[in-house]
Amino acid sequence: MDAIVKTFPGKDGEARPTQAEAEEAVRTLLRWAGDDVTREGLIDTPKRVAKAYKELFAGYEQDAEEELGRTFEEVAGYDDIVLVKDIPFFSHCEHHMVPIIGKAHVAYLPDGKVLGLSKIARVVEIFGRRLQTQETMTAQVAHSIDDTLHPRGVAVMIEAEHMCMAMRGIKKQGSTTITTTFTGAFKTEPHEQVRFMTLVRGRD
């Protein structure tokens, strides 16, 4: 089981905040930002934000390893690289809670079993829909596949723009952060890494 970061009751027996408490928290932030929470346009905003949070952070309710549980063995001995590239995702940085927008490239070297391709994209989605650092997310995607499928190796590359660097703070728009995690043969065999990179970078 992958460690779902926060389940209720929490470690300290804390119950999940109610919808009303979540809405009140949004109202507080709106007032703190300087707006009037009683004006027409904002009346329903706390409710909408709480609903949006449910969707944007749905990954806390999902278990990546459960998604990866179903595998297929009838692949005529196929044992070469399987790469799903350019999987788009949105996440939120855990420091500022603003968007991280990027693409993930995920590959593995099968050892008798393969995954449904959509499951790879689902795993990116599950870890993306939590508060993240890019490094953590990259490692989580790789290790969840490694731990459930036990392939000969997993390679994950994430390329993303962090809105906390673009919209605030240092305000550098358009910079991309690249992170990689390699396991198994991708870690020990440089030529497997090169093949992964070539396939990721190769354009039509």
Ligand X SMILES: Nc1nc2c(ncn2[C@@H]2O[C@H](COP(=O)(O)OP(=O)(O)OP(=O)(O)O)[C@@H](O)[C@H]2O)c(=O)[nH]1
Q: Is 191 annotated as a binding residue?
A: no
Q: Which of residues 49, 87, 104, 165 is near ligand X by CB under 6 A?
A: 165
Residues 87-146 that bind ligand X (CB under 6 A): 93, 95, 133-135
Among 95, 168, 172, 201, binds Zn ion (CB under 5 A): 95
Minimum distance from residue 54 beta carbon to Zn ion (Å): 22
Residue 129: name its binding partner from ligand X, Zn ion, none (Cβ under 5 to 8 Å by kind). none
Q: Label each residue of the chain as H, E or C.
A: CCCCCCCCCCCCCCCCCCHHHHHHHHHHHHHHHCCCCCCHHHHCHHHHHHHHHHHHCHHHHCCHHHHCCCEECCCCCCCCCEEEEEEEEEEEECCCCCEEEEEEEEEEECCCCEECHHHHHHHHHHHHCCEECHHHHHHHHHHHHHHHHCCCEEEEEEEEEEHHHHCCCCCCCCCCEEEEEECCHHHHCHHHHHHHHHHHHCCC
Examine residue 172 and tell whether it contacts ligand X (CB under 6 A). Answer: no
Can 62 be counted among the known catalytic residues?
Answer: no
Which string of x and - marks every residue 54-73 that binds ligand X (by CB under 6 A)? --------------------
- Binding partner of residue 135 among ligand X, Zn ion, none, CB cut-off 5 to 8 Å per kind: ligand X
Q: Is 92 a residue of the active site? A: no
Q: Is 134 considered catalytic here?
A: yes
Binding residues vs ligand X (CB under 6 A): 93, 95, 133-135, 162, 164-165, 169-170
